Amino acid sequence: MPPISSPGAEARFDATIAAEEKIEPRDWMPEKYRRNLVRQISQHAHSEVVGQLPEGNWITRAPTLRRKATLLAKVQDEAGHGLYLYSAAETLGVSREQMQDDLLSGRAKYASIFNYPSLTWADVGAIGWLVDGAAIVNQISLCRTSYGPYARALVRICKEESFHMRQGFEIMQTLCGGTSEQKAMAQDALDRWWWPTLMMFGPHDAESAHSQQSMQWKIKRQSNDELRQKFVDQSVAQAEHLGLVLPDSDLKWNAARDHYDFGAIDWDEFQRVLNGGGHCNRSRIKARRDADQDGEWVREAMLTYADKQRARAVEDAA
């Protein structure tokens, strides 16, 4: 049911946002607010779903049963996060099929970081520590987003995320306490994942296309650069504890800013990977297309089974 437009609807919407109240599905909202949310929430959902692939790659090769159970549980959580978010987007009148089509056809984006390959077991540690760590920083901030269903999905997600980062850090800790080869493996994974993780927060505030409007509508609550800084600041002590070196020679404490300064991000690489030039862009989409096609008969069977059950119930009643 489309929200009903009435005189004063826009003023009421603005007042609700200004009062830090949530917008709910049946409320009137500007079409641009709705579209902006659909784009952000569906991209977020796609990222959760595609994000299963780099780690899923290691489930069968996890080094112990404990690690395997953990990784399986984590990847399972990410599938659930995708579901919560798709459901939140559906309250805005967009269908699941449409969102799925947009992903498979390449019209919709997902977090560019998942186009990097997971080459060694240490990558599973680095992904949990850094990629989930960055996602948590971003998602905690988004719990205060102005759209009710999105905010509620994020609260649930953040609660589940809390073990993802810790299990990754624990893997890194174990590797760093192991042989020199194992520690080198951990450093190598950190070297490859560090910069792409910083890119996860998106372009600098001045260059971010959707950011300003999103901040005004309180869809986003903190800027890309603010969140990125928060992540860098928390990562330094964590790397130190592991005895690993963050791969940035410009990284140093700035007492005047009360933050760490860090080096320039390679935005050309970001654009290149975002636009399809990453190592795994094609295989990620292919995996999703295959999953869609391979699942077709299952969905078909579910519907057919339900039809038969209904027909049988009618027969029994007759």
State the nearest-atom distance from the C-beta of 167 to other proteins, in Å.
6
Rg (CA), the chain: 22
Round to whole Å and give the CA distance between 47 and 124.
17
* 46 counts as binding Fe ion under rule CB under 5 A: no
Q: Which residues contact 90 (CB under 8 A, 6 or more apart)?
A: 96
Listed ranges 43-51, 163-171, 217-225, 302-310: which one lies at the site for other proteins (CB under 8 A): 163-171
Q: Three-state DSSP class for 147?
A: strand
Round to whole Å and give the CA distance between 305 and 123.
42
Return the residues of window 159-178 that contact Fe ion according to CB under 5 A: 161, 164
Q: How many residues bind other proteins (CB under 8 A)?
A: 27
State the nearest-atom distance from the C-beta of 61 to other proteins, in Å.
18
Identify the DSSP state of 23. Answer: B
Secondary structure in 3-state letters for 217-266: CCCCCCCHHHHHHHHHHHHHHHHHHHCCCCCCCCCEEECCCCEEECCCCC
Closer to other proteins by Cβ: residue 167 or 214? 167
Return the residues of window 116-145 that contact other proteins according to CB under 8 A: 133
Closer to other proteins by Cβ: residue 240 or 290? 240
Are 130 and 191 a contacting pair, CB within 8 Å? Answer: no
* Binding residue (CB under 8 A) for other proteins from 100, 173, 223, 224: 173
* 73 counts as binding other proteins under rule CB under 8 A: yes
Round to whole Å and give the CA distance between 99 and 83.
12
* Binding residue (CB under 8 A) for other proteins from 98, 238, 281, 283: 238
Are 138 and 227 a contacting pair, CB within 8 Å? Answer: yes
* 299 counts as binding other proteins under rule CB under 8 A: no
* Binding residue (CB under 5 A) for Fe ion from 55, 90, 102, 132: 132
- Angle of helix 224-242 relative to helix 148-176, nearest 10 degrees, comes to 20
**Residue count (the chain):** 318
* Binding residue (CB under 8 A) for other proteins from 98, 234, 281, 283: 234
296 residue type, one letter: E
Round to whole Å and give the CA distance between 105 and 289.
9
* Binding residue (CB under 8 A) for other proteins from 165, 189, 227, 280: 165
Q: What's the CA angle centered on 227, arms 226 and 232, to 5 degrees?
A: 100
- Return the closest-CA partner of residue 129 out of 55, 47, 179, 68: 55
* 169 counts as binding other proteins under rule CB under 8 A: yes
Return the residues of window 14-43 that contact other proteins according to CB under 8 A: 16, 21-24, 26
State the nearest-atom distance from the C-beta of 151 to other proteins, in Å.
6
- Residue 55 contact, options Fe ion, other proteins, none, Cβ 5-8 Å cut-off depending on partner type: none
* 3 counts as binding other proteins under rule CB under 8 A: no
Closer to other proteins by Cβ: residue 104 or 151? 151
Binding-residue pattern over the window 141 to 160 for other proteins, x denoting contact by CB under 8 A? -------x--xx--------
Could you identify the residue written with the tokens 């004063």?
8
Could you identify the residue written with the tokens 């579910």?
302
Positions touching Fe ion (CB under 5 A) are: 48, 78, 81, 132, 161, 164
Positions touching other proteins (CB under 8 A) are: 16, 21-24, 26, 66, 69-70, 73, 77, 133, 148, 151-152, 162-163, 165-167, 169-170, 173, 234, 237-238, 241
